[in-house]
Amino acid sequence: MAAVIGLDIGATKTLGVALDECGEVVAQVREPTGWGPDGVVRTAARVVAALSSASDSAAPVGVGVPGVVDSARGLVSHAVNLGLDGVPVALAGRLGEAVGRRVVLENDVNAATLGVAALTHSTDLAYLGIGTGLAAGLVVDGALRRGARGAAGEVGHVSVDPLGLLCACGQRGCLETVASGSALASAWPTDGPAPARALYAACLAGDARAQAIWLTFADGLAQAVTVLALGVDPDVVVLGGGVADVGEPLQEAVVAALGQRAAGSAFVASLAGASEQAPGPVI
């Protein structure tokens, strides 16, 4: 039987897995995420229920969710892509009561960051999660940096263009409006589940508009990496999240955009490693 259940609550889907004592996935369930506090809790409870037959009834539930998370109290707020505003939602308590299990809550990107740190054995990194939104997780001197209010790494809501598009957070011109899955879906609508792959395929086919959108997207991610490099100065920046599934082409595009930025600034260029053309290695 599974030793633990893990949930990844995203704006478009809630993915649940049951893991055995060795960390191997023994069952998996995916459902569209409901809107607002009640919708999020109902979806999460359905996913846990679907995994119950593959897990011990006492198995705890670990939840990764976007937004500002108070892990100690099990609260989440400002998850704008889930319909959660500034009023804290007791997600751990509500879900725990619904499923009869202990629930541990963490920001989704922070949870992914801890996984990356474990896999890479890195004690100094920034993980840039590119999903429906855009956010970063930080490991500094071997410890996860959540921040005084749980908002560390929310680079997607750094406004870089006050006259730009309206962001779900209420500001204009946030990085998330140009460098996220939702931004890609808006700029390059597709019926498929992977707009980044569809966009890159169009680029390879010679579509000039697709190539322009791809370059804008890569430059937006380069801005986010630069913010992390200047704000935290990590040893390495890792690109992840659903959009990053496009793989090496995205890494190459971001590194190229960073190289262009470094070419125009001796200061930015000075942040590069000995064999890099951009601030910090990007993987």
What confidence score (pLDDT) does residue 259 get? 92
Q: What is the mean pLDDT of the segment spanning 171-187? A: 95
Q: What is the mean pLDDT of the segment spanning 20-25? A: 91
CA distances from 60 to 4, 24, 95, 178 (A): 5, 16, 11, 37
CB 172 within 8 A of CB 182: no
Q: CA–CA separation, 77 vs 211, rounded Å?
A: 36
H or E element at residue 31: strand 25-32
For 79-89, the pLDDT digits (tens) are 988 999 999 99
The fraction of the chain above a pLDDT of 70, given in percent, is 96
Count of other CB atoms within 10 angstroms of residue 72: 10
pLDDT value at 277 more than 90: no
Q: Are strands 68-70 and 13-19 parallel, antiparallel or unpaired?
A: unpaired
Q: What are phi and psi of 195, to 5 degrees?
A: -60, -30
For 229-263, the pLDDT digits (tens) are 999 999 999 999 989 999 999 999 999 999 998 89
CATH superfamily name and code, 4-107 = ATPase, nucleotide binding domain (3.30.420.40)
Contacts of 176 (CB under 8 A, 6+ apart): 133, 134, 156, 157, 167, 168, 169, 182, 183
The ranges assigned to domains in the chain are 4-107, 122-273
pLDDT mean across residues, the chain: 92
Q: CA–CA separation, 136 vs 129, rounded Å?
A: 6
Q: CA–CA separation, 207 vs 200, rounded Å?
A: 10
What confidence score (pLDDT) does residue 62 get? 97
Q: CA–CA separation, 191 vs 58, rounded Å?
A: 40
Q: CA–CA separation, 104 vs 4, rounded Å?
A: 11
What confidence score (pLDDT) does residue 268 get? 83
Q: What is the mean pLDDT of the segment spanning 212-216? A: 97
User: Do the domains 4-107 and 122-273 sit in the same CATH topology, yes or no?
Assistant: yes
Q: CA–CA separation, 74 vs 78, rounded Å?
A: 14
- Sign of the Cα torsion 268, 133, 154, 281 reads negative
What confidence score (pLDDT) does residue 192 get? 72
pLDDT-derived band of residue 275, with 50, 70 and 90 as boundaries?
very low
CB 195 within 8 A of CB 184: yes
- CATH architecture of the domain with range 122-273: 2-Layer Sandwich (3.30)
Q: What are phi and psi of 122, to 5 degrees?
A: -90, 140
Q: What is the mean pLDDT of the segment spanning 74-80? A: 94
The CA-based angle 189-66-133, given to 5 degrees, is 25
54 or 282: which leads in pLDDT: 54
